[in-house]
Amino acid sequence: MKSHHSAENRLKLLRVARKSLENYLEDVKRTEFTTETPELQTKRAVFVTLRKRDSGDLRGCIGQSEPRYPLIEAVSRTAISAAMDDSRFPQVKLNELANLLIEINVLTPMFVITPENVVVGKHGLLLSKGSCRGLFLPEVAVSRGWDRLTFLDELCRKADLPRGSWRDADAELQAFESESWEEIENAL
């Protein structure tokens, strides 16, 4: 996806994420960030991923599929959630923070897509069927070497649905694109 955020704003958002984590882990306080930059004031859906610096292992990943907050606030809130609320991992401790790298994904608005039009590496997907939902960011299928059909079947598994449920008439498939960047590319 073409970059919509300047290098300056990408760096600022990475710093917001890290400062939010530092302040929250030190004092359990949320930091208020203000900006005059219009693109950082726009409501956007975001995901924040935390990885161990030494191994690259996942340490937390949380996000929203719908925009709720201005981008700068969404990054701050989501960074804290990735550290504290990902049920797959224990909560991040302050002494771990120096060994964590932060990745930010800013999502485009969701749109309905047919399974035939899914492009691996371009589209992230959200599958909804009844009360079941599953979401994968675009890079997940690429990093795991999935083709389109495997991507769709694994999305079903993530949603706690049987493989192939994406074919069901009552299954809703939505796509989005994502602009992502991480601290390592910015030498933080």
Residue 20 and residue 30 in contact, taking contact as beta carbons nearer than 8 Å:
yes
From the list 106, 103, 126, the residue with the least C-alpha distance to 172 is 126
Question: Would you state the structure tokens that stand for residue 5, as one six-digit string?
Answer: 């955020």
Binned at pLDDT 50, 70 and 90, residue 9 comes out as very high
How many angstroms separate the CA atoms of 24 and 176, rounded?
Answer: 30
User: In sequence order, which residues have a C-beta less than 8 Å from that of residue 66 and are 6 or more positions away?
Assistant: 45, 110
Range 169-187 average pLDDT: 87
Residue boundaries of the structural domains of the chain: 7-107, 111-176
| Options 3.30.930.10, 1.10.1840.10, 3.30.700.20, 2.40.50.220; CATH of 7-107 | 3.30.700.20
Which H/E stretch holds residue 76? Answer: helix 71-84
Which H/E stretch holds residue 4? Answer: none
Binned at pLDDT 50, 70 and 90, residue 32 comes out as confident
Range 10-32 average pLDDT: 91
CA distances from 79 to 71, 95, 169 (A): 12, 16, 36
Q: 125-157 pLDDT, tens per residue?
A: 999 999 999 999 999 999 999 999 999 999 999
pTM above 0.85, yes or no: yes
Higher local confidence (pLDDT), 35 or 76? 76
Return the CATH class of domain 111-176: alpha beta
Range 84-106 average pLDDT: 96
Question: Would you state the structure tokens that stand for residue 67, as one six-digit string?
Answer: 């925009």
